Structure 1
Amino acid sequence: MPVKVSVVVPVYNPGPYIEDCIASVLRQSLPRDEYEVIFVDDGSSDETPARLDAVAAEHPHVHVIHQEPSGWSGKPRNVGIAASKGEFVMFVDNDDFLGDEALERMYNYGVENEADLIIGKMAGKGRPVPVELFRRNHPRATVENAPLMDSLTPHKMLRRSFLDRIGLRFPEGRRRLEDHVFVAEAYLRASNISVLSDYVCYYHIKRDDASNAGFQRFDPVGYFANLREALDVVERYTEPGPKRDRMFRRWLRSEMGERLRSKRFLKLPDDYRRELFDEIHKVIAERMGPSVFALLEPAHRVVTELAAAGRYDDVLALAEWEAAIAPSTSARSVTWDGDALKIEFSAEYAVDGTPKTYPADTSGAEPDGPAADVADAIARLERGTAARFGKANVDLMMRERETHAQFFQPVEITRETLPVEGEPDRVRLVVKATATVDPATAAGGVPLPAGLWDAFVRLTIGGWTREHRLFPVSKDPLPALPVPGVVGGRRVLPYWTVKNNFALDVDQAGKRLGFGEFKPADFTVAGDRLRAVLPFHVTGDVKAAIRLTGPKPAAEVLEVPATLSPAEGGHAVLDAPLPVRSLQQGGWRLALCLVADAAEPRFFTLPLVVRNSPEGLKVAKPAGKKPAAAAAAPKSRPGVARRLARKLPLPVRRALVRALGKGKKPARQEGK
């Protein structure tokens, strides 16, 4: 078969962090004769070269190229391109990994849309990744109709013939932003770009020792010299005008303005902070015109205009003022609405925990040029933010705790301008929202996979866009949570973590479902029917099952179908036939499976037995002591086990969870 995709991985001393990468490229859903993996070892001095050679010896579609150290990732990637045989080339870093179906999905999507470049949805664990870019699929994306400039890393799939036709390769040598130069040109010269957003294809991972190249402090002079090369590429392939300004805005906002703001700027050493400012000032003064500044939100515009004027002290003072501002969110209610959860919450910005206020009067034209002083800068920022409140937005995202895969949920919002008591010229800007989380579609149109899912609020007002965990107002009691749901073929448990953050446990919880609290009086036996009202939300009949384990020594096991049906009060009625003729006298241990047609049905043992006696069937407490096996079981040490588990590669951890029956407690026991 022709090779569809060549995966190119530059490698330099990754140590154990390469194991997740290796595992992910080996378990791709694309047939092995349709893709190849090329590891380019850039002079590693650890045990990685031998490890890669061993992998290649076992897998014919894996190849390893060893070379002298080049100092950066550009040359290894170029060597990988030269050696590739695939129709497309996919770039992966040695400390990241791919989703299991990434290559197959991205390749098919690219072929379907005749794309030269395909960007797959990203997730970041300890690392920022684009968010707005992946709100939906973009089959034909451009820098004008999609936020492509949010993603300038090379972790994309490109058509090999496109790279050869335009002669596109990475700048080589020890340098920064080689990926910006490469990707910017690819964006401008590709015949079509497709963005795949309904499946997480690429996982960015921050190492525990934070030794990823992107986290190292850089030399400002060299860094911004390299940034100018990316600006040169844009000027080479665009005319002056909106398209160029839109692309330049990304670097002005993210690589310059954001570095001068708030705690990010304040935490730098004084001498380094001044050197960084001086280089940013030079680039802004040289390359950024008024038409680019006009595209910025107030917070970015005010600080970059001060930087363009060389006013270091004012930028520092503005950063100190801004450092106290943070998002504040509060959950108001969580309820079931059919098969979906409705979550009502509000969000605004606060200063040291007190709601931030803004000028009530926003009339008049915006002044030109930099602010006169810090007070004027703050006044302009607040006024501009209030004037743009009609564009404020809030999102709710569900993020899986292990991989950090995240998905937007549908949200309806209202924007409220609230008066401030005692300050008639000031107002609060509050966004109220109702989010819908349907477990059957919440993962980009497909069901949420099993796992622990944390709720994050993303609040955008003016130039502030921040993410925050969803939690109730600390001074108020926790809003009541609904009962667990059996919806979409999944067990869904809404819960508050120990830090009062909202989360969903999908098909993980055991004890916290409350089965250990049932009493004999909760169940009735009428004839050969077992019935009970259970604290679970269902919207229609759900196929369940019960398991009866007979007395020892035979301990015969019987399983019978059961049904969960909606009941008054938002609970469910369990109804199951009892195989009366098959039940010998004695106590039969009772276990319940909530979703009988699941891929891996799970039974929960109840602290009850169905006792068959001459007087008939009844539900009772089991007699005697706990089974010897349970009594002899060693005490668990979850803290030690958890620390040891974290040292294992992610695929190994997942396999262990599956093998152990996915029985861990939700985050309240995990300190999240």
Structure 2
Amino acid sequence: MSVKVSVIVPVYNPGPYIEDCVSSLLRQSLPPDEYEVIFVDDGSTDETPARLDALAADETRVRVIHQENSGWSGKPRNVGIAAARGEYVMFVDNDDHLGDEALERMYDYGVANGADVVVGKMAGQGRGVPVELFRRNRPRASVTNAPLIDSLTPHKMFRRAFLDAIGLRFPEGKRRLEDHVFVVEAYLRAANVSVLGDYVCYYHVRRDDSSNAGFQRFDPVGYFKNLREALDVVERYTEPGPVRDGLYRRWLRVEMVERMRAGRFLAMPDDYRRRQFEEIHHVVTERFGPAVAAGLPPTQQVVAALISAYRYDDLVAFAEWEAGLELSARPGTPEWRDGTLRFDYVAELTSGGTPLTFPGGGVPAPLDGPPGSTEEAIAWVCADTVARFGQARLDLLVRKRSSSAQYFQPVEVTREIVPVEDTGQVRLMLHATAALDPAGAVDGTPLRTGLWDTYARARVAGWSKETRVGPGPRKAHAATSAAVVGGHVVLPYWTDRHGHLSLDVDRAGKRLGLDRLAPGSVDLSGNRLRAPLPLHVPAGTAVLLRLTAPGRSVETPGTLSPAGDGAVLEADLPVADLGDTTWRTALCAAPDAAERRFLPLPLALRADGRSVKVVRAPQRSVVRRLARRTRRGLAVLLGLRARPGTGAGKA
């Protein structure tokens, strides 16, 4: 019986790292009878085979296939394809996991757009993932109109009939880059590729022990032999010209030039990076014409030219210069306007912690062969960077700390070339004004409970740099007041260690400043309570006030409305129901939420059956201290605990 999606998971000794994968597959919003999970155990020697067999015994949607170890993921994936009953097949690695709605969203999107391949948005947890590809949804993407070539991992959904029609399967055996060969052919032969960019479908995870296959050191000879096979696929299905050169450029940029740049290059042992350099030099000179490198940004053009000219020592010197370059993003003071957090920040490149300067004026000539020296290379790159500064881009992203899911936010950017007095040099500064709306920051939906960090991402000439926004002016821990937006309490704050700008959604307590509310500022007329609170609200917001006394609680609706620099809480108290006792107060900003969260207020209401007055609530620490003393006293009276100093133990 067919299903919509078959999820194929090659498995080899994942240990406990498979648990998140399993949990995410069983949590899918797609009904259980509409998808299947096929684990292909590639000769695991740990406890995983028994774990998977037990899972399959309990879950009818789970199947397990055991086979002898094949050496890599190609054969297990092919075995899974052969066993699959789904209209689409989805490949997942055993140490990664899916978003809860991934299969349903990707399947529906693929069907709606007649896609042979569906690429779901990825989030990298300790691993790099494409960013620009997922800036928006792309229902009809191709290698000519979208940066598809940036995503060559197999973690996508493929129409099974399409794979069978063109006879596409993974290369097998102990080899590398089998996914490149498979995915690039799928891209080039698909009738349509759809990119789903508004939901994180796939979480690409780096293990704590960094034992993922992609992080293991490889044999350069074998690696670049396998890379040539991916280039062969491009050659087979494209004509000579700009499209082929653009595709080749991906491997030159990512698999070769980037391995020979900055800290990544310098971190390798010298003998190993020399062996990589040798193999990369052979591929560059054998397979790539001048037009391939000419389309690279300037810094990468320099590295490619040095590789082609066999200039290893100059490559090391250039890497040492590049390794010192960073991006800074200095923020101003955030403020709330109509439920949107607005703040300015200035981004620029730095070297050794100081702003990087560039030669002012002049138009560089195209790079004609490798520069004569490292100094010439740096001078050419810097001059070209000034010339291209009008194309520089700056973005703001918010990234959830627990999952690494990230989302672009609206920014307005201006570029400024600032002369450095009496030097003939200039600074290149990007000025941004960000408008972060918590109610729609996650592709039109609210920021969810948790901690969110802000990141600036700049593309300046040949550099793509990313950094946290900060440090900011940490006069106080909070960057500005909290806001009640979209049913959530959002507090912008500066982090303790580095002063970076982050957002606390529905977790902050004391930092909200509600404890500063004084009883004397509260107005109580009859049964109508009015209290000023240091919160921003864009408009009238329905809230809930909870009154708690020993053994009882009462809830009454209220509103938060804008008032000056904060808000005013208004609620009608059920005076007749309060009796003769003291009531603690707490506020819920999202009364319709599935899990309501109440924020304690430093107010107590003293009722006598006819009227109510406001008093300051005792601090919780005092209450806890009194409670502990009461419990200890009772224990002593009952003989359950010795008095201090008697030396006796428990009764």
What TM-score results when the alignment is normalised by the length of structure 1? Answer: 0.91
Q: Counterpart in 2 of 1:565? A: 561
Contact between 1:125 and 1:204, CA under 8 Å: does it hold in 2?
yes
1:603 paired to 2:602: no
Query: Could you list the per-position Cα deviations for residues 275-309 of structure 1 after superposition, in whole angstroms to 9, with x for gaps in the alignment?
Result: 11111111111111111111100010011111011
Residue 180 of structure 1 and its aligned partner are, at CA, apart by 0.6
> Within 2, Cα distance between the matches of 1:572 and 1:148?
48
Residue 362 of structure 1 and its aligned partner are, at CA, apart by 3.1
Residue 613 of structure 1 and its aligned partner are, at CA, apart by 3.6
Residue 378 of structure 1 and its aligned partner are, at CA, apart by 1.1
Residue 366 of structure 1 and its aligned partner are, at CA, apart by 1.8
Could you say if the C-alpha distance between residues 65 and 489 of structure 1 is closer, same or farther in structure 2, counting changes exceeding 3 Å?
same
Q: Counterpart in 2 of 1:656? A: none
Contact between 1:24 and 1:99, CA under 8 Å: does it hold in 2?
yes
After TM superposition, the structure 1 = structure 2 runs for residues 330-345 of structure 1, keeping only pairs within 5 Å, are 330-345=330-345
Residue 585 of structure 1 and its aligned partner are, at CA, apart by 1.5
Residue 597 of structure 1 and its aligned partner are, at CA, apart by 2.4
> Within 1, Cα distance between the matches of 2:170 and 2:22?
23
Query: Could you list the per-position Cα deviations for residues 216-259 of structure 1 after superposition, in whole angstroms to 9, with x for gaps in the alignment?
Result: 11111111111111001000100001110111111111111111
The farther-off stretch of 284-293 and 518-527 is 518-527
Q: For 1:168, what is the secondary structure of its paired residue? A: coil
Residue 202 of structure 1 and its aligned partner are, at CA, apart by 0.2
Residue 393 of structure 1 and its aligned partner are, at CA, apart by 0.7
1:97 paired to 2:121: no
> Within 2, Cα distance between the matches of 1:93 and 1:443?
26
Residue 361 of structure 1 and its aligned partner are, at CA, apart by 2.0
Q: For 2:201, what is the secondary structure of its paired residue? A: strand
> Within 1, Cα distance between the matches of 2:513 and 2:226?
59
> Within 2, Cα distance between the matches of 1:633 and 1:185?
74
1:491 paired to 2:489: yes
> Within 2, Cα distance between the matches of 1:547 and 1:321?
61
After TM superposition, the structure 1 = structure 2 runs for residues 165-180 of structure 1, keeping only pairs within 5 Å, are 165-180=165-180
The farther-off stretch of 592-601 and 67-76 is 592-601
Contact between 2:121 and 2:197, CA under 8 Å: does it hold in 1?
yes
Q: Counterpart in 1 of 2:379? A: 379
After TM superposition, the structure 1 = structure 2 runs for residues 45-194 of structure 1, keeping only pairs within 5 Å, are 45-194=45-194
Q: Counterpart in 1 of 2:443? A: 444
The aligned amino acid for 1:490 is H
The aligned amino acid for 1:483 is S
> Within 1, Cα distance between the matches of 2:116 and 2:440?
30
Q: Counterpart in 1 of 2:577? A: 582
* Aligned-pair Cα RMSD in Å: 1.8
Q: Counterpart in 2 of 1:653? A: none
Residue 628 of structure 1 and its aligned partner are, at CA, apart by 7.2
Q: Counterpart in 2 of 1:664? A: none
| 1:594 counterpart (589, 593, 611) | 589
Could you say if the C-alpha distance between residues 20 and 367 of structure 1 is closer, same or farther in structure 2, counting changes exceeding 3 Å?
closer
Residue 372 of structure 1 and its aligned partner are, at CA, apart by 1.4
1:265 paired to 2:265: yes
Residue 46 of structure 1 and its aligned partner are, at CA, apart by 0.4
The farther-off stretch of 101-110 and 374-383 is 374-383
Q: Counterpart in 2 of 1:639? A: none
The aligned amino acid for 1:414 is T
> Within 2, Cα distance between the matches of 1:462 and 1:485?
38
Q: Counterpart in 2 of 1:245? A: 245
Q: Counterpart in 2 of 1:618? A: 613
> Within 2, Cα distance between the matches of 1:472 and 1:275?
41
Contact between 2:337 and 2:538, CA under 8 Å: does it hold in 1?
no
Could you say if the C-alpha distance between residues 11 and 479 of structure 1 is closer, same or farther in structure 2, counting changes exceeding 3 Å?
closer
Q: For 1:202, what is the secondary structure of its paired residue? A: strand
Contact between 1:10 and 1:40, CA under 8 Å: does it hold in 2?
yes
Contact between 1:333 and 1:480, CA under 8 Å: does it hold in 2?
no
> Within 2, Cα distance between the matches of 1:519 and 1:378?
61
Residue 614 of structure 1 and its aligned partner are, at CA, apart by 7.9
The aligned amino acid for 1:320 is E
Q: Counterpart in 2 of 1:646? A: none
Q: For 1:423, what is the secondary structure of its paired residue? A: coil
The aligned amino acid for 2:326 is A
> Within 1, Cα distance between the matches of 2:552 and 2:14?
53
Q: For 2:447, what is the secondary structure of its paired residue? A: coil
Identity %: 60
1:523 paired to 2:518: no
The aligned amino acid for 1:305 is A
> Within 1, Cα distance between the matches of 2:33 and 2:521?
58
The farther-off stretch of 61-70 and 541-550 is 541-550
Query: Could you list the per-position Cα deviations for residues 37-69 of structure 1 after superposition, in whole angstroms to 9, with x for gaps in the alignment?
Result: 000000000000000011100000100000000
Q: For 2:29, what is the secondary structure of its paired residue? A: coil
Residue 381 of structure 1 and its aligned partner are, at CA, apart by 1.1
Q: Counterpart in 1 of 2:640? A: none
Query: Could you list the per-position Cα deviations for residues 67-115 of structure 1 after superposition, in whole angstroms to 9, with x for gaps in the alignment?
Result: 0000000000000000000000000000000000000000000000000
> Within 2, Cα distance between the matches of 1:49 and 1:66?
8
The farther-off stretch of 365-374 and 326-335 is 365-374
Residue 339 of structure 1 and its aligned partner are, at CA, apart by 1.5
The aligned amino acid for 1:448 is L
> Within 1, Cα distance between the matches of 2:313 and 2:339?
55
**Considering only CA atoms, is the larger Rg found in Structure 1 or Structure 2?**
2
The aligned amino acid for 2:250 is R
The farther-off stretch of 329-338 and 186-195 is 329-338
The aligned amino acid for 2:455 is F
Q: Counterpart in 1 of 2:9? A: 9
> Within 1, Cα distance between the matches of 2:471 and 2:463?
21
1:509 paired to 2:508: yes
Q: For 1:94, what is the secondary structure of its paired residue? A: coil
Residue 512 of structure 1 and its aligned partner are, at CA, apart by 2.2
Residue 521 of structure 1 and its aligned partner are, at CA, apart by 2.0
Query: Could you list the per-position Cα deviations for residues 450-484 of structure 1 after superposition, in whole angstroms to 9, with x for gaps in the alignment?
Result: 1111001111111110110110368x867972210
The farther-off stretch of 9-18 and 501-510 is 501-510
Residue 413 of structure 1 and its aligned partner are, at CA, apart by 0.3
> Within 1, Cα distance between the matches of 2:319 and 2:630?
56
Query: Could you list the per-position Cα deviations for residues 577-624 of structure 1 after superposition, in whole angstroms to 9, with x for gaps in the alignment?
Result: 111111211211112112222232212223331002489421113479
The aligned amino acid for 1:93 is D
Contact between 1:176 and 1:223, CA under 8 Å: does it hold in 2?
yes
> Within 2, Cα distance between the matches of 1:500 and 1:428?
24
Structure 2 residue runs without a partner (length 5+): 632-651
Could you say if the C-alpha distance between residues 622 and 210 of structure 1 is closer, same or farther in structure 2, counting changes exceeding 3 Å?
same
Residue 401 of structure 1 and its aligned partner are, at CA, apart by 0.5
Could you say if the C-alpha distance between residues 480 and 44 of structure 1 is closer, same or farther in structure 2, counting changes exceeding 3 Å?
closer
Q: Counterpart in 1 of 2:398? A: 398
> Within 1, Cα distance between the matches of 2:350 and 2:434?
22
Structure 1 residue runs without a partner (length 5+): 635-672
Could you say if the C-alpha distance between residues 304 and 596 of structure 1 is closer, same or farther in structure 2, counting changes exceeding 3 Å?
same
Contact between 2:575 and 2:609, CA under 8 Å: does it hold in 1?
no
Could you say if the C-alpha distance between residues 310 and 131 of structure 1 is closer, same or farther in structure 2, counting changes exceeding 3 Å?
same
Could you say if the C-alpha distance between residues 64 and 535 of structure 1 is closer, same or farther in structure 2, counting changes exceeding 3 Å?
same
Residue 627 of structure 1 and its aligned partner are, at CA, apart by 5.2
Q: Counterpart in 2 of 1:286? A: 286
Q: For 1:4, what is the secondary structure of its paired residue? A: strand
Q: For 2:396, what is the secondary structure of its paired residue? A: strand
Residue 2 of structure 1 and its aligned partner are, at CA, apart by 3.5
The farther-off stretch of 170-179 and 517-526 is 517-526
Q: Counterpart in 1 of 2:541? A: 542
The aligned amino acid for 2:353 is G
Q: How many residues align?
A: 628
Contact between 1:33 and 1:61, CA under 8 Å: does it hold in 2?
yes
Contact between 2:364 and 2:383, CA under 8 Å: does it hold in 1?
no
Could you say if the C-alpha distance between residues 298 and 201 of structure 1 is closer, same or farther in structure 2, counting changes exceeding 3 Å?
same
Q: For 1:333, what is the secondary structure of its paired residue? A: coil
> Within 2, Cα distance between the matches of 1:601 and 1:455?
27
Residue 337 of structure 1 and its aligned partner are, at CA, apart by 1.8
Query: Could you list the per-position Cα deviations for residues 627-664 of structure 1 after superposition, in whole angstroms to 9, with x for gaps in the alignment?
Result: 57964899xxxxxxxxxxxxxxxxxxxxxxxxxxxxxx
Could you say if the C-alpha distance between residues 623 and 568 of structure 1 is closer, same or farther in structure 2, counting changes exceeding 3 Å?
closer
